[in-house]
């Protein structure tokens, strides 16, 4: 999903608005590799700290401690971070934006802190993951446009569209993180985590997810009003984003069991995927 987001952000969304971009194809490959390596290291460190909860929540999907030792996992985590940070610094220097290397350093630190402690704190962990998912889109746009002079109208247009996708990415991820916390409440109780469902209950947490989903749907409908002349984009968003969101609201409202929430989580991934694919429409 990260790779697809980065590729479509550059080649579908951004390059459809301006040809005056900073990233060459080679530098984009370096940037993408850096992000993927740091993301992979984040998954590994999360699995290391989550091993006890995963034994309860996902026993059939448990990889560490069964097929892969904790010691090897730590070694891979360190190596992936080293290579990811090195490539991030290299691409920042190569594009004359050395300060952009801070994004990679800060992200690696945040991922470690999230896995170790922040994910156990109500909403804090959810917000961090949502922020990092949105950061992927922002990072590509930052490397593409930083230090370049775009035509005023093009820049305004691209900024607005990027902001919309940032909002979508952040919000849909936040909803899914809350739903996942509801799914994993039994394992989180064992490690004394203070996630939202543990503090206020599953039903109230689901209502919060419902409320955020409603806000996102209203926001998208408002956007639809301003693009009703763009027929292809209009119908795509209406049928493949808005209608699934309506179905999602129904599923969240009536969800009661872990299986219900698991289905909702999968549905959110589908909506997220369809939202990212909508970037392709800017090429037409």
| Secondary structure (DSSP) of 107-133 | HHHHHHHHHHTGGGBTTHHHHHHHHHH
Q: Is the pLDDT of residue 150 over 50?
A: no
Q: Is the pLDDT of residue 55 over 70?
A: no
Q: Is the pLDDT of residue 148 over 80?
A: no
Q: Say if residues 50 and 125 touch (Cβ distance below 8 Å).
A: no
For the record, the structure tokens of 66 come out as 């069964």
Q: Say if residues 176 and 245 touch (Cβ distance below 8 Å).
A: no
Domain extent listing, the chain: 2-283
Residues of the chain with pLDDT > 90: what percent?
Answer: 61
Convert the pLDDT of each residue in 173-186 to its tens digit: 999 999 999 998 88
The pLDDT of residue 122:
86
């Amino acid at each position: 999903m990260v790779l697809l987001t980065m590729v479509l952000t550059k080649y579908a969304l951004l390059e459809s608005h301006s040809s005056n971009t900073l990233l060459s194809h080679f530098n984009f490959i370096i940037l993408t590799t850096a992000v993927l390596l740091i993301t992979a290291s984040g998954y590994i460190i999360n699995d290391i700290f989550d091993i006890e909860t995963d034994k309860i929540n996902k026993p059939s999907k448990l990889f560490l401690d069964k097929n892969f030792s904790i010691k090897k996992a730590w070694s891979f985590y360190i190596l992936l971070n080293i290579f990811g940070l090195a490539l991030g610094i290299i691409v920042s220097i190569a594009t004359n934006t050395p300060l952009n290397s801070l994004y990679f350093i800060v992200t690696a630190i945040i991922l470690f802190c999230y896995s170790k402690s922040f994910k156990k704190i109500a909403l804090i962990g959810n917000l961090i993951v949502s922020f990092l998912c949105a950061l992927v889109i922002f990072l590509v746009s930052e490397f593409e446009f930083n230090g370049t002079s775009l035509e005023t109208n093009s820049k305004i247009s691209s900024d607005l569209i990027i902001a919309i996708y940032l909002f979508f990415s952040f919000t849909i991820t936040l909803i899914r993180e809350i739903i996942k916390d509801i799914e994993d409440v039994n394992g989180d109780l064992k490690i004394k985590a203070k996630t939202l469902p543990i503090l206020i209950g599953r039903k109230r947490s689901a209502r919060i997810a419902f409320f955020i989903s409603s806000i996102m749907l209203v926001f998208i409908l408002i956007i639809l009003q301003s693009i009703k002349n763009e027929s292809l984009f209009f119908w795509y968003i209406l049928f493949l984003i808005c209608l699934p969101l309506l179905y999602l609201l129904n599923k969240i409202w009536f969800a009661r069991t872990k299986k219900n929430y698991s289905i909702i989580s999968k549905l959110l991934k589908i909506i997220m995927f369809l939202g990212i694919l909508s970037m392709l429409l800017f090429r037409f």
